Structure 1
Amino acid sequence: MDLHRTSVTQVPGVGKKKAEDLHQLGIDTVADLLGYFPYRYNDFQVLDVSEAVHDEKVTFQGTVHGVPSIRWYGKKKSRLIVKVNVNGVYVNVVWYNQAYLKKKIKPGETVFVAGKWDAHRLQLTADRTWFGKQGKSLINRLEPVYSVTSSITVSWLRKTIYQAFAAFGREINEVLPQEFLTRYRLLDRAKAMYLLHFPKNREEGKQARRRMVYEELFLYELRLLWHRKQKKLAEQGTVHRFEREKVETFIDHLPFPLTSAQRRVVEEILGDMEENSRMNRLLQGDVGSGKTVVAAIVLYANWLSGYQGALMVPTEILAEQHLRSLHELLSPAGMNLELLTGGMKAKEKRDALSRIQMGLADVIVGTHALIQEDVAYRTLGLVITDEQHRFGVRQRHTLREKGEMPDVLHMTATPIPRTLAITLYGDMDVSVIDEMPAGRQPVNTYWVKKDVWPRVTGFIEKACHKSQQAYIICPLIEESEKSDLQNAQSVFAEITEQLAPIRIGLLHGRMTPPEKDEVMRRFAAGEIQVLVSTTVVEVGVNVPNATVMVIYDADRFGLAQLHQLRGRVGRGGGEATCILVAEPRSETGVERMRVMCETMDGFEIARQDLELRGPGDFFGVKQSGAPEFRVADLVEDYKVLEVARTDAAQVLNASLDTPEYHILRRYLDQLEKDPSNFD
């Protein structure tokens, strides 16, 4: 029987109306119902008073001492209280609006009560009560709690899932090969699913979850890798043929030695380029880790192969910056670079388009202008997008379709833990530069309260007198009645008055692109000494002279964003300072400030940011594409994810046609026929 095709109305007690209610929870089939796991459990393990934690839910067993008293207030509201002897400690047990219990509570009777514990007053506010033998049979257990709608109660759903297991439990098929069940000592699927709903104790629940987490992550990774393998087979890419010796000579003549991490990722990318399948690789590197140099090397190899290369960036000023950097590295080798942006004059653009079409431009650096209809490349063999998350999927796709199946490299300075990057960008290979170049100094980071703001402005003034520049970042553009967060416009006005005659600039998201570019151009040229801005500078230009970064209301930003902002300073090789001005109102805010002051490692910061915020907030709810799992947690279970991915790769490398993997072959075949069968 296929439980994915069996209507939930086949479960005893589920009629047409209840089926409609279950549909609101995403439950339409028996498989949906059996796989609708609880999000937590009520723990009715009996504790001693000394074991109970203040303000937590606890369960006590005791003997009623004395006669319960009841007090009425309002029209029908009541407060029932009695003392209960719990192993020699007298506890006040209180029930609100349960006056009917007074007749059941008798002196000397054994009672089991569960509720919130107040250790200071030795008082338990009870929400569950059992007496005598009934209590002994029900306590010391875990009770599943589900997400429900107003038309479905947790108790009804719990009972219905139990009925579903009784009727269909034997129809649950195993989906994992015996090899993995044995290797990791995993429960079989039917038992694990049942115990995840109805564990007798914590150990049973733990083993059931362990099995289902592995299954969920393994099948997810298997689907990803299978899909990518099929896509690679279908997409024959550009085969790059170049002399490795020439690439090595190019690397040897660079003005600085590569780090071992840079060498590793260069080797990974060049290996992809030499294959006949299309490269689709993500290059992650912290701010200042040297991604541009890696791009230059692979653009050189692409040129040796006889192809043009294109680099697309989010802003015109960033395009100009990349053009200068790449020109220094590539022009000595005889390569011609071309700039293409929307802000170019008509004649400049026509001439550039002509050189690109004739093949006179070897590397084209630009903005969205690179994907306009009038841009025709002669031999586009490599496409690079910088800060790839700033472009939409359609924009990236349009650029890669400009050539005859060019290889694609996406670069980002937004750190994501490697395992999660592999999961989030499932159709890409992932390379990581996890080492900083020698000589790169850490940015001195300090957390201060708002009452020392005059000292902060004094520090900025001293830096400007040394011919250095500074950023001041604010969370808002203008003042809001609903918020006490600092805003860029008021800070700009205040700083302009305080620091006169120092030249102050203002940058925010409501400006037009040309206005933003002009402000950033003036800042990069040193015409503006202090730039007051919102987070639009998070991914900005390289201003080596900027040595001070001040972030106002810093606790309102995520860790990864704070790290990106900090990366705007200290790019000239000298000493730099980041000042976090904040008065956190939560422990999470305090923790963010601590982490920022203690580490410069972007990947460690990303890991801690993920722990503090969770996957949904970390990736962004809609943009992310971050998978939502029924059981697995991307933070808690990242080690299982790594193991699952290795196992999935092993299976696909060994061939799905081997007898021990026939279960997985059937799974993928069914998935291909009807993707709706599987979550």
Structure 2
Amino acid sequence: MNTTLHLPITKLRGVGPRLKEELKLLGIITIDDLFAYYPYRYENYELRDLANVQDQEQVTIMGKVQSEPLLNYYGKKKSRLTVRVLSGSYLITVILFNRPYLKRSLRLGQTVTVTGKWDRNRATLTSSDFHTGQPDQEARWAPVYSVRAGVSVKKIRSLINQAFTCFPDYIEENLPDELLSTYKLIGKKQAVRTIHTPKDQTQLHQARRRLVYEEFLNYQLKLQAYKRIRRASSKGIRISADQESVQRFISNLPFALTQAQKRVVSEILTDMNSDSPMNRLLQGDVGSGKTVIAAIALYAAVSAGYQGALMAPTEILAQQHAENLDELFRPFRISVGLLTGSVRGTKRKILLDQLLRGHIQILIGTHALIQPEVEFKQLGLVVTDEQHRFGVGQRGALRLKGKEPDVLYMTATPIPRTLALSVFGDMDVSTIDELPGGRKKIKTYWVQENVIDRIINFMKKELDRGRQAYVICPLIEESEQLDVQNALDVHAQLSQALPGYKVALMHGKLTPDEKDQVMDSFKRRQVHVLVSTTVVEVGVNVPNVSLMVIYDADRFGLSQLHQLRGRVGRGSDQAYCILLADAKSETSREKMRMMTETTDGFKLSGYDLKLRGPGDFFGKKQSGLPTFKLADMIHDYRTLAAARDDAVRLVQNPHFWRDDRYAGLREPLAESGLTQLLHLD
């Protein structure tokens, strides 16, 4: 190990107590930290021909002064200097703000180098960097660092250059030759030097490619080592279900499983039949049939003599699961119980007693399942529906109701499998990437909000046919900040426009009992139109609904729009989704186009991730998101997939834990205590 890397930053000239504290706030404490403080962008000073430059693009040009500079003052001590410059075949006007001193140094025929924003229509270049003479051939790409008061970009550049000089052998190669050769990666020392001082785009690409792979590989090695520790240290329940019995249950289902569902069932049953506790995420698009997979897993647990539990985020969704599962399990004489906040008194006491005695084999419920007095006789399988709606503590509390039971998490937010493996930590991931046949594709339309009368007429036709409709609004009441339709106004408008039909209102300010009452009336067709905020987004199944209207649709994320659209089209009739949006920005228009062109949730969520980034996509409460210095889980998805496959292979290879060629990769694991826990160091 190169101990130089752990030298304090004060070893550099000019870093005293004050600068040391400023750098510490940037996370720079050692020489190693300084070299790993990568630029977040670069000023590109490569010369360009204006013929190939787009309007409003940043560009550097070289030219000759063609006119006397003109200086104007305005405001308080503000100035505007303009000068005509000939660059190639372009005669342009260069504009320089608040640099009046340059007027004295400019003369006709003089060579100048200018960097700035190009306005093609006006043939002007607003300068951000200007100097006389030709460009510096050695500084065409200038790194820009994230800084704070007290530390300038110039200071960071100076410290890094000094560190390169003082510690020329500061870094050692940590990747084995086999990986460098396989991916044609440059060496670590060259990569770090280049990322701070690239000469061109090709060099920068090669340096970033090397360092991104290393970041992903180190993260994935920690993840895979932790998974190995967890599996080695925890003895799970071996649920050896009778295969013939499970096949009889599957054959009794009212529909045939898709190939994707069969593959996922096999993965889950294999996990359940192992000594290690299952910790698996089941992801699939809206309507892909995740619930029936959970039913098969629960049946396997019960047939092997264990109890099962399914936790849902809302009472109405728990009730829906209980009704559906009871219908599937009734022919097999499997008892299903329902425990929510509404189950009280004697009824609750009897249910808990039957659960403890083992008379209730499958318990469905909300977070009421994790209350202390809820005790199982022998819990073997825990299923959490819409797992992201629960906190880590809530999910863990349900698992503690048994002795290392198998756990299956379900989510309807589909993302690429390798990305899911990174986001959801140490879980294994099963993906249903195929929808059941027979359902009609939901017809999706994007319209401007000035055609609301036509939409109401279309809605009336659907209601006259005996169907129902959802109308979704982004806000509950008027907001001075946002010019959007709100649920209260829309409810009033539709109530007046649809005489003879019951229009109900549901939003987040209602109590849970009030929400359940509204949804129950809607399911029973006592309510014909449900005006709502996004509380209907997940899970609720009302097959009679044929129309979904979403106001201000461009204010929602793509994945959220897709989840909302998935609330319709659950019956045999043709279903429609109408997106009301003026969509003034290009991003908004692109979202609307994507929604009308595809119903593939994986495609939409992938695009949504690119738009919003993983942090906003998964929500601020998703603590499992790793952070990287250079790597981007979306942009560098292929590299992430390769690094994960390599990490899985390396951790399972005994030579990885002993051979010197892997010492550089073992070092971060040792610092995390993982090799010590594995007794392999």
Q: Shorter-chain TM-score category?
A: over 0.9
- The 5 Å alignment of 1:169-318 reads 169-318=168-317
TM-score, structure 2 length as denominator? 0.96
SS in 1 for 2:167: helix
Aligned to 1:514: 513
CA contact (8 A) 1:336 1:363 kept: yes
Deviation (angstroms), 1:85? 2.0
CA contact (8 A) 1:422 1:428 kept: yes
CA contact (8 A) 1:553 1:581 kept: yes
SS in 2 for 1:641: helix
Cα distance in 2 between the residues matched to 1:525 and 1:36? 60
Kindly provide the amino acid, as one letter, of the partner of residue 406 in structure 1. P
Report the more deviating stretch, 282-291 or 56-65. 56-65
Cα distance in 2 between the residues matched to 1:481 and 1:130? 48
Unaligned runs of 5+ in 2: 677-681
Report the more deviating stretch, 58-67 or 616-625. 616-625
Q: Does 1:80 align with 2:78?
A: no
CA contact (8 A) 1:3 1:29 kept: no
CA contact (8 A) 2:174 2:662 kept: no
Q: Does 1:125 align with 2:130?
A: no
Deviation string, structure 1 residues 542-592 (Cα, Å, up to 9, x no partner): 111111111000000000000000111111122111111111121111111
Q: Does 1:56 align with 2:49?
A: no
Aligned to 1:30: 31
Cα distance in 2 between the residues matched to 1:80 and 1:138? 29
Report the more deviating stretch, 666-675 or 435-444. 666-675
Kindly provide the amino acid, as one letter, of the partner of residue 662 in structure 1. A
Kindly provide the amino acid, as one letter, of the partner of residue 444 in structure 2. T
SS in 2 for 1:382: strand
Aligned to 2:523: 524
Q: Does 1:108 align with 2:122?
A: no
CA contact (8 A) 2:71 2:80 kept: yes
CA contact (8 A) 1:299 1:363 kept: yes
Deviation (angstroms), 1:658? 4.5
Q: Does 1:602 align with 2:596?
A: no
Deviation (angstroms), 1:671? 2.3
SS in 2 for 1:67: coil
- The 5 Å alignment of 1:465-480 reads 465-480=464-479
Deviation (angstroms), 1:127? 2.1
Cα distance in 1 between the residues matched to 2:663 and 2:274? 30
- The 5 Å alignment of 1:540-559 reads 540-559=539-558
CA RMSD for the aligned pairs? Answer: 1.6
SS in 1 for 2:68: strand
CA contact (8 A) 1:335 1:362 kept: yes
Cα distance in 1 between the residues matched to 2:301 and 2:362? 10
Q: Does 1:533 align with 2:532?
A: yes
Aligned to 1:657: 657
Cα distance in 2 between the residues matched to 1:245 and 1:403? 27
Deviation string, structure 1 residues 487-513 (Cα, Å, up to 9, x no partner): 111111111111122011110001111
Aligned to 2:347: 348
Cα distance in 2 between the residues matched to 1:316 and 1:36? 49
Aligned to 1:436: 435
Cα distance in 2 between the residues matched to 1:663 and 1:27? 22
- The 5 Å alignment of 1:376-415 reads 376-415=375-414
CA contact (8 A) 2:69 2:106 kept: yes
Q: Does 1:489 align with 2:488?
A: yes
Residues 138 and 184 of structure 1: is their aligned pair in 2 closer, same or farther, counting only changes over 3 Å? closer
Identity %: 49
Cα distance in 2 between the residues matched to 1:528 and 1:423? 43
Cα distance in 2 between the residues matched to 1:510 and 1:499? 25
Deviation (angstroms), 1:17? 1.0
CA contact (8 A) 1:225 1:426 kept: no
Deviation (angstroms), 1:67? 2.8
Cα distance in 2 between the residues matched to 1:85 and 1:348? 89
TM-score, structure 1 length as denominator? 0.96
Residues 3 and 86 of structure 1: is their aligned pair in 2 closer, same or farther, counting only changes over 3 Å? same
Deviation string, structure 1 residues 156-190 (Cα, Å, up to 9, x no partner): 11111111222234121222122111111111112
Deviation (angstroms), 1:673? 7.5
SS in 2 for 1:171: coil
Cα distance in 1 between the residues matched to 2:128 and 2:402? 67
Cα distance in 1 between the residues matched to 2:290 and 2:137? 64
Residues 142 and 521 of structure 1: is their aligned pair in 2 closer, same or farther, counting only changes over 3 Å? same
SS in 1 for 2:628: coil
Residues 69 and 317 of structure 1: is their aligned pair in 2 closer, same or farther, counting only changes over 3 Å? closer
For this pair of structures, how many residues does the alignment match?
A: 673
- The 5 Å alignment of 1:419-434 reads 419-434=418-433
Kindly provide the amino acid, as one letter, of the partner of residue 112 in structure 1. T
Kindly provide the amino acid, as one letter, of the partner of residue 148 in structure 1. V
Kindly provide the amino acid, as one letter, of the partner of residue 73 in structure 1. Y
Kindly provide the amino acid, as one letter, of the partner of residue 516 in structure 1. K
Cα distance in 2 between the residues matched to 1:455 and 1:554? 17
Cα distance in 2 between the residues matched to 1:249 and 1:11? 73
CA contact (8 A) 2:278 2:408 kept: yes
CA contact (8 A) 1:242 1:304 kept: yes
Cα distance in 1 between the residues matched to 2:67 and 2:287? 73
SS in 1 for 2:260: helix
Cα distance in 2 between the residues matched to 1:74 and 1:652? 66
Report the more deviating stretch, 552-561 or 118-127. 118-127
CA contact (8 A) 1:310 1:363 kept: yes
SS in 1 for 2:6: coil
Deviation string, structure 1 residues 213-246 (Cα, Å, up to 9, x no partner): 1101111111111111111111111111222122
SS in 2 for 1:416: coil
Kindly provide the amino acid, as one letter, of the partner of residue 404 in structure 2. M
Deviation (angstroms), 1:444? 0.8
CA contact (8 A) 1:169 1:190 kept: no
SS in 2 for 1:170: coil
Deviation string, structure 1 residues 620-676 (Cα, Å, up to 9, x no partner): 23435322211111111101110110111111121223423233233311221899x
Kindly provide the amino acid, as one letter, of the partner of residue 324 in structure 1. E
Deviation string, structure 1 residues 347-376 (Cα, Å, up to 9, x no partner): 211111111010011111111111111111
CA contact (8 A) 1:381 1:406 kept: yes
Report the more deviating stretch, 340-349 or 428-437. 340-349
Deviation (angstroms), 1:103? 2.4
Cα distance in 2 between the residues matched to 1:529 and 1:224? 50
CA contact (8 A) 2:258 2:434 kept: yes
